[in-house]
Structure 1
Amino acid sequence: MSRGKFSLRRQLLVWLLIPQFILWIAGAMLCYHVATHYATRVVDDSLQQTGRAIARQVREVDGELTLGAPNLHAPLIAPQPEEKHYYSVIALPGELIAGNRHLSPIASPPTRFEETVYYGNASSTDGALRVASLYFPLPGDGGRPGRWLLVQVAKGMDSYNRLSHEILVATALPLGLLILVMSICVHWGIVRGLKPLTGLKSLMERRDPQDLAPLELADAPEEVHALTHALNHMLSTTNESIGRQRRFIADAAHQLRTPLAGLKSQTELAMRETTPEGLRERLNMVHASATRSIHLVNQLLTLARSEPANQTGMPQVRVDLAKLIRELTAEAVPRALAAGMDLGCDSPLQEAPINGNSALLRELFVNLVENAIKYIPRGGNITVRLNRTDGQYVVEVEDDGPGIPDEQKPRVFERFYRVNQNDGNGCGLGMAIVKEIAERHHGTVGLLDAQPHGLIVRVELPVGEEEAKAEDA
């Protein structure tokens, strides 16, 4: 099931702008809360000062408490004429001196009178009110406190709500402009930051499909350079694989041309023969040529299967290398005896488990034993050894033949290279196949001189992770 397409630019915008929007809302609410808190303090301080100013105007005349010029206190309570305002002056326990009788106290009288101010909200027929209640002492005889006054001053919440709204607008509007500017900057930064990816996309679209040269981006951030490096590595690997396939096809065509041409010539000569003896001789030549061609084709197929590009689908199983070596040596003994050679196996290991492709591993060691049987003189000795050292399985195929000169050892692993160019029995692919299979199993292969003469082909294959852990435990 294919996944839906998504835009990296859109995801970056979402993940950057949503937190900014949330922070903008939180900042606006915090600023509004702080501003309204201080606005409430300003209103409360204003009501308190007004209440104290009214309380100081209370006078006792002929034994009665009066408030001088009550109408002059309206501007103190509500500087704006349209604002609703209320006040009341009460001589405790309950004598109304001046003001609105329906303005109820917002707090019960204290048990011990002292100059105290109470703030609260109240409601009236005209709406919500903000009320300040002050308990204020009147001077008595001898300077002692006399009666206590309760002065209440109230203002309508319209001005308070209007102030809160103005604070909200004054707070949210700059923050909104700020978030808009920040969003534009973020979008510009994302577009500019993703510009190298756009350039890489354009570069890949303009490139010819056959062009596998490395990509070059001069001005690009580190992450894009890492992506470019990965693409260049992939292009290099692809280029090497294509080059290897082209060389393989060219070499195979060249190597197949000679035996097929010889086979055609032998069949033409056989068609001209008139005697049974001559025809039999020509048919034997045709058979030998066909056998060499089949061997060459099989070697080419094995080499193709061992190529790196074909390893993805090659199954790997648990293979007992010790058992495989013993079986292959036993199978090759009849051919060695027919060639007049002594073939033996030396393996102190009863088991040698390894993860690999059993068919390719079998082909690897078959090639080593067959090469030894094919290229050393009659009467020679061949020994196959298996040991384990330093986390590696070491397989050695030793013979006492003429060996290989040091200057030719590196070239032995080249495709279609033969040490003895006049020998028509081989096709020069055996050691190339050995090297490819060993490398596909993360191993190595090397050539050593045997004493007093001869050759040792040494193959090292890594022990599986499970076996290494078991050994460490």
Structure 2
Amino acid sequence: MSRRADRDHPVLEQAATGSEQGRGPEAVRVSGSLSRQLLWWIVLPQLILWLVGAFVTYSVASNYANQMVDRSLFQTSRALARQVKPIGNGMLIDFPRAARDIIETDPDDTVYYMVSSPPGQFILGNRTLPPPPPVVLENDKPFFYDAAVADTRVRVAALLLPFGEEGRERLLVQVAKSRASREALARRILIDTALPLSGLIVLMTLIVWLGIRAGLSPLSRLRRLVEDRQPNDLHPIRMSEAPAEVHALVVALNSLLAAVRRNVETQKRFISDAAHQLRTPLAGVKSQAELALEAAQDPQLRARLERVRASAIRSAHLVNQLLTLARAEPESAMRQGQVPVHLGPLARELTAEMVPRALQMGVDLGCDEAGADEREGEAEAELVVIGNPLLLREALVNVIDNAMRYAGRGSVVTVRTRRQGDVAVIEVDDNGPGIPEADHDRVFERFVRGSNDGTGCGLGLPIVREIVQQHGGQVTLSNIDPHGLRVRVTLPLR
């Protein structure tokens, strides 16, 4: 096996990595949040309608304010006209000081008035009032126009009254009031209308935002379900309560996952069937080569038979590794039982089983029990994980076997177990040549080999990592000074 990822080549190379090399990640164009787009398309028309509504409201308010001011000016002009009474060929002006104070003293605005007899004979009032524009005025019918008095914009009501013999003479009464009160009234109407409308828009925006969040919550749940999945989890996504649109998306995703799982299972089944079919003929080739070696006398023939035997051993090892890898795949692992596994006794048992082989290879293999004391049984009872004992045993056998294979004759391999917080730690150390630190990640890829020593096939560490990850753990490599390698496996405790 290959704890050094079966270092069978001085330069790391992948024998079968497929077409994944040189394939970079595709750029994903993100068009923005769907909820923000929905909110924007809902709020933007509301803002536009609010502006249009504010403009229309101000126009209507100005129109009503003009009507109120015009009605007030008309009434004032009629009252003022009644103070000028024609007598024969003259006029009697009955305009006491008190009446003048009432007209001129407006608490909210400035009032201007003027009475004249065309063509321009001033009778009383303010001489600064401009005459009406050159239009035909009708008797007893007011005419309203805008003008300016001492840089003050005013609204003027002009009333033409007949007097004299047979009404041949004309009396022009003009009453003006600045536009300040009218504009103030229009602004007040606008504010009183716009503020509640703005509050309603804010409240409606909040309700719309909450509605969008509630409506898109199935998408958020679907996103979390996909994000929380392991890359090798191809089981259907379950969302019982979802709108029709999201349900259709879930159905499409489940169809895709089912197709991918069928393809993966087909490939795994092919590997497993091929491996099973190859085991018997490879065992026969190995046996025949050994029998031929016993009967052969020619040195050259023996050398060739020895190479045949080594190739058969290596091929059988590869087949066994493929079978182990197939059993370690997620779907296969989930179909197998999960039981409590005591790592301390398991490590000692495997170490003891592999001691005879270590002696044949000239390797000093042992289990570190330097930290053991009278509480050893209690400490071992704490190193309990939930998992598949056969797979965990296979992972630990791979690590120890690789250490013996590639550390070399005369090396020392040590297995130790301990607890670190909430995880159990298994470490296998050797004083062999080690692996360059830059290659520690690559050696976990399938069929990657970092040495030409041994009979590995580049599947050892991938198998170990697959098994450890299925049990929620991690496996890492680190160099040991002055030389050597440490394989560290961490598994969550029960």
TM bucket (normalised to shorter chain) is: 0.5 to 0.7
Q: 3-state SS of the aligned residue for 1:212?
A: coil
Cα distance, 1:190 vs structure 2: 1.3
Cα distance, 1:61 vs structure 2: 3.2
Name which structure has the greater RCO, CA cutoff 8 Å, separation 6+.
2
Distance 1:127 1:163, change over 3 A: same
Distance 1:76 1:243, change over 3 A: farther
Q: Which residue pairs with 1:264 in the alignment?
A: 286
* 5+ long unaligned stretches in structure 1: 298-473
Distance 1:72 1:62, change over 3 A: farther
**In structure 2, what is the Cα distance between the partners aligned to 1:230 and 1:174?**
47
**In structure 2, what is the Cα distance between the partners aligned to 1:93 and 1:67?**
19
Q: Which residue pairs with 2:263 in the alignment?
A: 241
Cα distance, 1:24 vs structure 2: 1.0
Cα distance, 1:62 vs structure 2: 5.6
Distance 1:109 1:28, change over 3 A: closer
Contact 2:146 2:153 in 1 (8 A): yes
Q: Which residue pairs with 1:465 in the alignment?
A: none
Distance 1:5 1:91, change over 3 A: closer
Where in structure 2 are the equivalents of 1:14-53 lying within 5 Å?
Answer: 14-53=40-79
Q: Which residue pairs with 1:149 in the alignment?
A: 171
Structure 2 residue 120 is the aligned partner of structure 1 residue 94? yes
- Over aligned residue pairs, what C-alpha RMSD do you find? 3.3
Contact 1:65 1:97 in 2 (8 A): no
Tell which deviates more after alignment, 257-266 or 147-156. 257-266
Contact 2:105 2:111 in 1 (8 A): no
Tell which deviates more after alignment, 84-93 or 233-242. 233-242
Q: 3-state SS of the aligned residue for 1:108?
A: coil
Q: Which residue pairs with 1:255 in the alignment?
A: 277
Q: Which residue pairs with 1:451 in the alignment?
A: none
Where in structure 2 are the equivalents of 1:211-250 lying within 5 Å?
Answer: 211-250=233-272
Which of 197, 206, 224 is the matching residue for 1:184? 206
Contact 2:104 2:110 in 1 (8 A): yes
Which of 201, 204, 207 is the matching residue for 2:226? 204
Q: Which residue pairs with 1:455 in the alignment?
A: none
Which of 93, 118, 140 is the matching residue for 2:143? 118
**In structure 2, what is the Cα distance between the partners aligned to 1:221 and 1:74?**
77
Q: Which residue pairs with 2:464 in the alignment?
A: none
Cα distance, 1:114 vs structure 2: 4.2
Q: Which residue pairs with 1:356 in the alignment?
A: none
Q: Which residue pairs with 1:342 in the alignment?
A: none
Contact 2:155 2:179 in 1 (8 A): yes
**In structure 1, what is the Cα distance between the partners aligned to 2:268 and 2:108?**
97
Contact 2:111 2:178 in 1 (8 A): yes
Q: 3-state SS of the aligned residue for 1:247?
A: helix
Q: Which residue pairs with 2:161 in the alignment?
A: 136
Where in structure 2 are the equivalents of 1:203-352 lying within 5 Å?
Answer: 203-271=225-293
Where in structure 2 are the equivalents of 1:377-396 lying within 5 Å?
Answer: none
Q: Which residue pairs with 2:131 in the alignment?
A: 105
Q: Which residue pairs with 2:368 in the alignment?
A: none
Q: 3-state SS of the aligned residue for 2:142?
A: strand
Contact 1:50 1:76 in 2 (8 A): no
**In structure 1, what is the Cα distance between the partners aligned to 2:101 and 2:52?**
39
Identity of aligned residues (%): 46
Contact 1:117 1:132 in 2 (8 A): yes
Q: Which residue pairs with 1:57 in the alignment?
A: 83
Contact 2:111 2:176 in 1 (8 A): yes
Cα distance, 1:122 vs structure 2: 1.5
Q: 3-state SS of the aligned residue for 2:91?
A: strand
- The alignment of Structure 1 onto Structure 2 pairs a total of residues equal to 279
Q: 3-state SS of the aligned residue for 1:97?
A: strand
Structure 2 residue 206 is the aligned partner of structure 1 residue 159? no
Q: Which residue pairs with 2:372 in the alignment?
A: none
Q: Which residue pairs with 2:215 in the alignment?
A: 193
Tell which deviates more after alignment, 244-253 or 202-211. 202-211
Which amino acid in structure 1 is aligned with residue 153 of structure 2?
Answer: A
**In structure 1, what is the Cα distance between the partners aligned to 2:43 and 2:138?**
58
* 5+ long unaligned stretches in structure 2: 1-26, 320-494
Which amino acid in structure 2 is aligned with residue 132 of structure 1?
Answer: A
Q: Which residue pairs with 2:33 in the alignment?
A: 7
Contact 1:67 1:98 in 2 (8 A): no
Contact 1:54 1:73 in 2 (8 A): no
Which amino acid in structure 1 is aligned with residue 240 of structure 2?
Answer: A
Distance 1:81 1:62, change over 3 A: farther
Distance 1:61 1:237, change over 3 A: same
Q: TM-score, normalised by structure 2?
A: 0.51
**In structure 2, what is the Cα distance between the partners aligned to 1:126 and 1:275?**
132
**In structure 2, what is the Cα distance between the partners aligned to 1:13 and 1:104?**
55
Q: 3-state SS of the aligned residue for 2:107?
A: coil
Distance 1:76 1:189, change over 3 A: farther
Q: Which residue pairs with 1:69 in the alignment?
A: 95
